[in-house]
Amino acid sequence: MSTHVETHSTWQRQAHGMLVIIKKNALLYYLKPPVLIFGILFPVFFFLAFKMGRPIAATNVVPGMIAMALWFTASAVGPLVTPWERQARTYERLISTPLSLSSIILGDIGSGLIFGGCLSIVPIIIGLAFTDAAVTALGLLVLGIVLGALSFATLGVLLAAPPAASPSNIMLLSNLVRLPLLFVSGVFLPIAEMPGWAQWVAPISPLSYAGDLIRAGFGQAPYFPLWLSPVMLIVFTAALIAGAHKFHRRWRAKGL
Amino acid sequence: MSTDSPVVIDVRGLVKQFGSLTAVNGVEFDIRRNEIFGFLGPNGAGKTTTVRMLTGVLEPTDGTATIQGHDIRTEALLSRAHLASVPEEANVYLDLSLWQNVMLMGQLYGVPREERRRHGAELLDAMGLLDRKKQKARTLSKGLRQRLLLCTALVTRPEVLFLDEPTSGLDVQSARLIREIVRDLNQNGITIFLTTHNMDEAEQMCSRVAIISQGEIAAIDKPARLRSAMRSSQYVEVEFENGPPEAAALGGLPGVLRVQSDAGRTHLYSEQPGRVAGEVAVFARDRGLGIAHLSTCRPSLEDVFLHFTGELKEEAAR
Ligand SMILES: Nc1ncnc2c1ncn2[C@@H]1O[C@H](COP(=O)(O)OP(=O)(O)OP(=O)(O)O)[C@@H](O)[C@H]1O
Ligand SMILES: [Mg+2]
């Protein structure tokens, strides 16, 4: 008997398994068309649509655009992975490995976090290079990006749970969730200037808090108290992880 | 198969319900080390559902099982660490190369790098896939994908291998190769749980078979013993040169239980087919009939299968 067998209940083994999942997802899913379309083309399109015909000071727009791009990129990978594995008939084999459901879920979240976090560098560089925007509080910017990407990626993994007939159904679902939230989160218009009803809805979107931190990172006045945003992003992440566990477990064997 | 080899899989009262449908209903058996255990049953009998519970994919509604002593419910990770499975209609990762597929599965099981590489190369070589290891799995035919799936299962060095209809849809050669590999593996100490529809396959390969019908085990024994348990389905097959005589005359021969004629061939069912064959020869000589063909036949595993699965259906209908 090989020695690796009896160690599977240890957290080190599970953590290693999580890294293997991240690597697998990067190899298989980062370059899949749905990820590229909804993770990269979408934010570019929204940026152009917003920019056209609005002579707003670019400096004010940069943080919102970074937050918007992060919203799409970090949540693009999660909804693809599980539905794709189900359809490609690789999922049953994956869940019969000695990895816990948590390792698989955390690995999928890690994939979105890394994808979103890395790609957010692109709008940051563009913003810094072509506008007068400047980072005044790097810590807040990094905090906003990391916690934002984490909670958005977790949302993506939660959305992947339903047993859909094809991955495109889940893509539809994820856009039904992501697009409305995008418009109430203060990325195009600061929350303070949004209509009253939207100001009431804004706090239920993690994007509002991540956007606020990123805005503060660029020296703009935050809408929420500065301590609240990280706390809320952590609360969102925890709740979404719990939901992801619950629903991935419930629907694990459906649609195999 | 000695009965004192250690028990590797011990299944106790497994039940799975999907809503109001009971797909698996109190299944019990144990499998000892080095067995090839065949799991036979008609479509929808609950074979795949049983395998999925044992491999940790489905949660049992009731009952449990242990794999190498680890309970599948309370020690799920440890029980899964000892097994690998090739699920029904499963696939490899088509966008990864053959080599990446094998390495990925090794990594997921925590097989150390050196061992993974060496063993992975050996396995690909044994399956005739080593030359193509850099190709994407997408380029493989169905039979070759099935071989690759087997490689990805074996690189984890399982002690128990679950194969759910591993040869269905393969051509004769690929199926035979898979069977040979499985037999070799078994000789090297791996316990095998084989689900199949193919009676010949079960008969050739399995040390024991269980027949499952409508979620319940109908019979479980060595293939030869199951056959001999059905003595009343043994028969003598005879073909006369100038067509069969009237059935009543044959049915009156001593020891004959039942007569069935089909396309000139007559089947005389009996618990003593040897004696009946002698009687048929005497009968033919007395009447001056020429015999074109005379043989005694044991029931095939297929007869056994039909017997047990049919019997349960009749019970259910009652
Ligand atoms: N996820 C599920 N939800 C509801 N019913 C299911 C589910 N999986 C299986 N069943 C039902 O359970 C029964 C047993 O199915 P199972 O797949 O175990 O049969 P099987 O013996 O493997 O058949 P086959 O030879 O066709 O592969 C069937 O009636 C099937 O329709
Ligand atoms: Mg089946």
Distance CA A28, CA A14 (A): 21
Q: What angle do CA B267, B272, B293 make, to 5 degrees?
A: 40
Task: Report if residue A155 sits inside a domain.
Answer: yes
Ligand 1 pocket by Cβ (under 6 Å): A 253; B 18, 21, 23, 41, 43-49, 88
Higher-pLDDT residue of A155, B41: A155
- One-letter amino acid identity for B219? A
- Which of A3, A5, A86, A251 is the best residue to mutate to test the B interface, defined by the most B CB atoms within 10 Å of its own CB? A5
On whether both B120 and B241 belong to a single domain, the answer is no
CB contact under 8 A, A24 and B104: yes
A116 domain residue, yes or no: yes
Looking at the structure, do residues B109 and B15 belong to the same domain, yes or no? Answer: yes
Domain boundary, last residue among B192, B227, B262: B227
**Which amino acid residue places its CA nearest to atom 2 of ligand 1?**
B18
B129 and B260 part of one domain: no
What distance in Å separates the CA atoms of residue B240 and residue A244, rounded to the nearest whole number? 72
Local confidence band at B241 (pLDDT 50, 70, 90 cut-offs):
confident
A178: β partners: none
Q: What pLDDT, on a 0 to 100 scale, did the predictor assign at position A255?
A: 73
Could you tell me if B154 and B186 lie in one domain?
yes
Domain that holds residue B259: 231-298
What pLDDT does residue B245 have?
81
The yes-or-no verdict on residue B21 having pLDDT over 80 is yes
Is residue B143 included in any domain, yes or no? yes
B315 falls in which pLDDT band (50, 70, 90)? low
Question: What pLDDT is stored for residue A7 in this prediction?
Answer: 67
- Confirm whether A201 is domain-assigned: yes
Q: Which of B8, B24, B71, B109 to mutate to test the interface with A (most CBs of A within 10 A)?
A: B109
Residue A181, pLDDT score = 92
Whether residue B316 is contained in a domain is answered as no
Q: Residues B57, B197: one domain?
A: yes
Domain assignment present for residue B305? The answer is no
- Reported residue count of chain A is 256
CB contact under 8 A, B80 and A96: yes
pLDDT tens digits for range B79-121: 999 999 999 989 999 999 999 999 999 999 999 999 999 999 9
In angstroms, rounded to a whole number, what is the distance separating the alpha carbons of residues B201 and B9? 22
* Residue B65, domain CATH: 3.40.50.300
Q: What residues in A contact B110, CB-CB < 8 Å?
A: 4, 7-8, 13, 16-17, 98
Same domain for B123 and B104: yes
Give the whole-angstrom CA distance, residue B42 versus residue B126: 33
Q: Report the residue from B58, B86, B104 with minimal CB separation from A253.
A: B58
Determine, yes or no, domain membership for B257.
yes
Give the atom of ligand 1 at the shortest distance from the alpha carbon of A253. Answer: 1
Kindly list the residues from chain A whose CB atom is less than 8 angstroms away from the CB atom of residue B163: none
Candidates B17, B47, B54, B197: which one to mutate for ligand 1, based on the most atoms within 8 Å of Cβ? B47
pLDDT at residue B101 in the model: 97
A222 CB contacts (<8 Å, ≥6 apart)?
Answer: A212, A213, A215, A216, A229
DSSP label at residue A195? -
Residue B40, strand partner residues: B196, B211
Contact B194, B163 (CB under 8 A): yes
Q: Of B78, B91, B157, which has the smallest distance from its Cβ to A8's Cβ? A: B78
Q: Is B110 on the interface with A (CB under 8 A)?
A: yes
- Helices (runs of H) and strands (runs of E) counted in chain A: 13, 0
At B209, is the secondary structure helix, strand, or coil? strand
**What pLDDT was estimated at residue B252?**
86
| Whether B245 and B123 share a structural domain | no
In a domain, A60, yes or no: yes
Question: How many folded domains does chain B comprise?
Answer: 2
Q: Which of A117, A116, A91 is nearest to A104 (CA)?
A: A91
Residue A256: inside a domain: no
Is pLDDT larger for residue B248 or for residue A141?
A141
Residues B292 and B174 in one domain: no
**Predicted pLDDT of residue A18:** 97
Are residues B110 and A13, on separate chains, in Cβ contact within 8 Å? Answer: yes
State how many domains chain A has: 1
Per-residue pLDDT, A4: 55
Please tell me which residue, A121 or B234, carries the higher pLDDT value: A121
Which residues are A164's β-sheet partners?
Answer: none
Q: Is A77 contained in some domain?
A: yes
Sort out which chain A residues have CB atoms less than 8 A from B75's CB and list them.
9
Q: Check residue B314 and give its pLDDT.
A: 54
B85 contact A CB<8A:
yes
Contact B93 A7 (CB under 8 A): no
Distance CA A197, CA A123 (A): 30
pLDDT of A245: 97
Q: Does B169 lie in the same domain as B54?
A: yes
CA-nearest residue to B93 within chain A is: A90
Give the domain range for residue A107.
2-251
Residue B2 has pLDDT above 50, yes or no: yes
Whether B162 and B55 have beta carbons less than 8 Å apart is answered as yes
When CB atoms are compared, the residue of B83, B93, B110 closest to A16 is: B110
**In this predicted structure, what is the pLDDT of residue B311?**
60
How close B240 comes to chain A (CA, Å)? 55
Q: Is residue B175 part of a domain?
A: yes
> Looking at the structure, do residues B67 and B102 belong to the same domain, yes or no?
yes
Residues with CB under 5 A from ligand 2 (ion): B 47-48, 88
Q: How far is B316 from chain A (nearest CA, A)?
A: 29
Instruction: Classify residue B312: in a domain, yes or no.
Output: no
The whole model's pTM is what? 0.88
Residues B48 and B158 in one domain: yes
Å between A217 CA and nearest CA of chain B: 39
Residue nearest to ligand 1 atom 30, measured at CA: B44
Question: A-B interface: how many C-beta pairs under 8 angstroms?
Answer: 93
**In a domain? residue A202:** yes
Convert B108-134 to b/e letters by CB count within 10 Å (16 or more is b).
Answer: bbbbeeeebbebbeebbeebebeebbe
CATH code at B241? 3.30.70
Q: What average pLDDT values come out for chain A (256 residues) when binned by 10 residues?
A: 60 94 96 86 80 67 90 94 95 95 97 95 89 91 97 97 90 92 87 88 94 94 94 98 96 82
Query: pLDDT tens-digit profile of B289-304?
Result: 889 999 888 777 777 7
Q: How far apart are CA A26 and CA A20, in angstroms?
A: 10
pLDDT recorded at residue B224: 81
Between A87-91, A250-254, B65-69, B308-312, the lowest mean confidence (pLDDT) is in B308-312
8 A C-beta contact, residue B155 and residue B187: no
Please answer whether residues B137 and B165 qualify as being in contact, where contact means their C-beta atoms are separated by less than 8 angstroms: no
**Tens of pLDDT, residues B168-224:** 888 888 899 999 999 999 999 999 999 988 878 888 899 999 999 899 998 899 988
Question: Ligand 1 centre and the CA of A251: distance in Å?
Answer: 16
Task: Kindly report the number of other CB atoms within 10 A of residue B98's CB atom.
Answer: 28
Answer whether residue B306 is part of any domain.
Answer: no
Task: Note the pLDDT of residue A2.
Answer: 44
- The complex's ipTM works out to 0.90
On the question of pLDDT at B3 being above 70, the answer is no
Structure tokens at A57: 């000071």
**A216 within a domain of the structure (yes/no):** yes
**Which of A5, A23, A89 comes nearest B81 by C-beta?**
A5
pLDDT tens digits, B267-291: 888 888 889 999 999 998 998 888 9
pLDDT of residue A94: 96
Is residue B171 assigned to a domain? yes
Look at residue A1 in the predicted model and tell me its pLDDT: 42
